Amino acid sequence: MTAVETLAVRPGHERRVPAEPMPLARLTDEELVLLGSEHPAVVLPHYEELSEAAQAVAVRTAHRSLLAHGAEPGADGRSVLVPQEVSDLLDVRHGAEWVLVVRRCHNVERDGATVSEVTTTYAHAVDDFALLEQVGDDGVHEFHGLERRGLAGALQHRLTASGVCEGRGDPVRLDLEAVAHGHGDVGLDRLGPIVVQIDATVWRRGPQAAPVLLGVMLGAEGSWATRAAFGERGPVVLEPIGVGDVGGLVAGLLTTVVRSHRP
C-alpha cells in the first residue's frame, strides 16, 4: 500500500478537488479485505481466484505489508490503523451512491498469439468529485481523485488504444439471436478486427431501474457503440463513433443515468 498524497475528500468537508487525476493510493485485493473494504460493485480478481486457505495466507501477508508501509497496529494486535488520507478515501468509496463501472478488454499480440488484457475502472461519484479506482488482473487497485467534469478526459486516456479507426457509414443492425443460430450476420464484416472492447454500466447503492448497458468496440477498420437497458430484446444497433468521443460517451452514461433518477 502506498499513500501518495493527502487529499481531503470526505463528503461535507471543505476540500480542494483536482481538475486532473491525482494519485492517492495503491491497495491490493488482500489489503482491502483486511481493512473490511470489500465493495459490492468492485471485483477482487486475484483474491477471488485463491483457495480459502490461500486467501487466509494472503490476508496475513497484507497485514505485514500495511505495517511495513506506515500503518500502525490496532489495540487488539490484529487490526491496523491506516493514514487518515486512506481512511477518507475508503469512506468516499463506501459512501458513493453512484458508481460508473467500465470494463476494458484490449486484444494485443504477444509471442505470436492474441492475448486479452483486462482492466476495470470504477468512478465513485460524490457531488463534484470522482474517485477513480482502476483494477487489473493482478488485483492491484490504483486510486486517483479528480473533478467530475474531468472524468471524460481521464477515461479517454485510459480506454483508447493505438491502431483503431474512426467509425463511418450507416449504423449496423444485428439480430443477435439469429447470429447465434448461424443466420443474419450481414454487416459483421464491416466491424473488422476488434482491438478494444469496452462494456460500461452504472451501479447504484439503493433502488435502481434496469441497468443501462453501453458497449463500445474500437477496431482496426472502424469504431462502434450500442446502448440498451438490461433485459431488452430485439436487434442491436451499432452506431459509428469517433475515437476521440469515447471518453465523453462513457462518462455521459453516468450523467444520463443519475439525471433519470432525480425527482
Provide the percentage of residues in the chain whose pLDDT is more than 70: 87
Q: Read off the pLDDT of each residue in 179-205 and give the average, rounded to a whole number.
A: 77
User: Distance between terminal CA atoms of the chain?
Assistant: 41
The DSSP string of 50-96 is S-HHHHHHHHHHHHHHHHHTT-EE-TTSSSEE--HHHHHHHHHHHH-
pLDDT band at residue 69 using 50, 70 and 90 as cut-offs: confident
- Annotate 197-250 with three-state secondary structure: EEEEEEEECCCCCCCEEEEEEEECCEEEEEEEECCCCCCEEEEECCHHHHHHHH
Say if CB 183 and CB 246 are below 8 A apart: no
Half-sphere exposure of 60 (CA within 13 A, CB side): 6
Distance CA(149)–CA(255), nearest Å, equals: 10
pTM: 0.88
pLDDT at 126 over 70: yes
Domain spans of the chain, in order of start: 2-99+136-148, 160-260
pLDDT in the model for residue 180? 56
Distance CA(241)–CA(253), nearest Å, equals: 15
The three cell numbers of residue 17 are: 478537488
Q: Output phi, psi for 16, to 5 deg.
A: -105, 125
pLDDT in the model for residue 193? 87
The three cell numbers of residue 5 are: 498524497
Which residues are registered as beta bridge partners of 132?
Answer: 123, 144
